[in-house]
Amino acid sequence: MKKFINDPNDVVAEALAGIAAAHPGDLRVDTAGQYICRADAPRSGKVALVSGGGSGHEPLHGGFVGPGMLDAACPGEVFTSPVPDQILAATKAVDGGAGVVHVVKNYTGDVMNFQMAAELAADEGVTVETVLVDDDVAVENSTWTAGRRGTGATLLVEKIAGALAEEGGKLAEVAAIGREVNTASGSFAYALTAGTTPAAGRPGFDLPDDEIEVGVGIHGEPGRRREKLRPARDLVRSALDAILEAKPVADGDQVIVLVNGLGGTPLLELYLVYGEVATVLAERGVRIVRRLVGNYVTSLDMAGLSITVTRVTDEMVRLWDAPVRTPGLRWGA
């Protein structure tokens, strides 16, 4: 294993110190509570958004803390859910009296720990609504989930719901639009190689040089099957077939497309894949009104990518376009 680390046991803590040093004045890192929040939190009268999950998916979630998106993020150890006390501390730190929305990816540990934290917050007078993200159409009831996994659509939920909260939306409204975005989203991923966790020091799974994992999860969970590597255009069509079967879009519908690298895929290849996605959707009469290409929801150094298609309303597009200022996503601000 070759990684830019000091001690595998200190990676998350030292990365938190690094993000604090890199974004002074924008972010505040509580090293004892192990969470990241906006420097101006709490903001009185504003609905706050809190998310989190295991580290190793950066910039998700800590890189999406800031105006127009999350108020706080709770990074667990690598590929390990944050604990309830950690989530509770972040929730209380950003509560401005208007309630808090928890954005939770559908993994058993995340769901359980965020639920416990929400109950503890309620005991202390903080009202919490939960938005569960389960956009991965590849498999159900996988290694760490009951139901579909939460993947790329998490970014869209956090951006669109975060924009509404920034505008002064009420708790129920912010949660409702987050759920609407999730319902309208489908994602599918491929892996060419496995990621390597610092503690293990070896790839998370073995994959022959001429095979790919079809429908891989963001922790390296198995997908639908393994198969021989095919041209990108064929893989894109297969992924879009799966997405649009599960989350149909009609001729004339408008969508946001995310082509997301899993950590070790060059942008050259991601843009090539986006071009294939645009071709297929155009053939089907689907209008891509916004798009995002890059590494946003990663799996350490995994060579792979995911495709997310979200059918959007004009209001969702307006909120997507609203200003955002975070380490990982920034425009209009």
Quote the DSSP letter at residue 123. H
CB atoms within 10 A of CB 61: 29
Enumerate residues 6+ apart whose C-beta is below 8 A from 260.
152, 155, 270, 292, 294, 295, 296, 297, 298, 305, 306, 307, 308
Using DSSP's 3-state secondary structure scheme, residue 36 falls into strand
Query: Using alpha carbons only, what angle is made at residue 61 by residues 219 and 6, rounded to the nearest 5 degrees?
Result: 70
What is the CB neighbour count within 10 angstroms for residue 93? 19
In the numeric block, which tokens belong to residue 271? 């843009």
Residues recognised as catalytic? 57, 219
- Write out the two tokens for 240: 């879009």
